[in-house]
Structure 1
Amino acid sequence: MPFNWRIKDGLYPESAVVLEGLIPEQSKRFYIQIANGQYERAKALRLEARFEDYPYMVVVMLNCFENRPRIKASPLKPGGRFRIEIKVTRNSYKIFANNRLLDEFPHCLPPKDAIFLEMNGDVMLEKLSFLPTHPVGH
């Protein structure tokens, strides 16, 4: 880590980002962020897993010019595997962690403008998938 990826055509309804890997036993935190630019950017979505204190938390933030954090109990644990899926619908992002729905956020930026994916922290990313790989009609 850190990991940065340019999403070639941005996101679109019915697409999804899937991240899979391992959370080391000594992990304190990690985050995943989708944004419209690599440096000076508006964040479309930020998910941060924190393991400093028990019970573990996942902080999900929609961050387009303002922070509106939502704190959820975490199905993610240090020393365990993770699968995070961010599904894009017409109106929102649906965020799943280890097959459990964490939250749903309305879009504040058009998904097609979400062109950068960043992941950083105490985590080992093993697999990154974009589903489906191309929007219908492309």
Structure 2
Amino acid sequence: MTIAEVSKKYEISADTLRYYERIGLIPSVRRKENGIRDYSDTDCGWVEFIKCMRGAGIQVEALIEYVSLFQQGDGTQEARKQILLEQREQLAARMEDMKQTLARLDKKIAHYDECLRFAENKLRGGRE
């Protein structure tokens, strides 16, 4: 697949894909004789993985380390697992913070709903 096709498929700009490759998030993509990138299924798997992880807020530095270790082979499995466990823990903490924020927003919205009901009731002369 060309960079344009990958960009469209995964809804990531071509510039972002080039950046990810440059910093090591996506292992080097093979190029055709004319120099155009030719993304394989494996390359697309990396794009999908990185997009998922970044969408969840996983740090770029952690992902760079993970990809680097992956490229070093099976001897790094425990280190890769540790990175994923650490990132999972951080993600779970962020999700808990988000749950608390959501509950607070729900409470504030309910307050405004109650204020609006009261104001509407007052406009009707106290009748429901």
Smaller-chain TM-score range? Answer: under 0.3
Flag the structure with higher strand content. Answer: 1
TM-score, length-normalised on structure 1?
Answer: 0.23
Q: Which protein has greater RCO, CA pairs closer than 8 Å, 6+ apart?
A: 1
TM-score (norm 2): 0.24
Structure showing greater radius of gyration is 2
The structure richer in helix per residue is 2
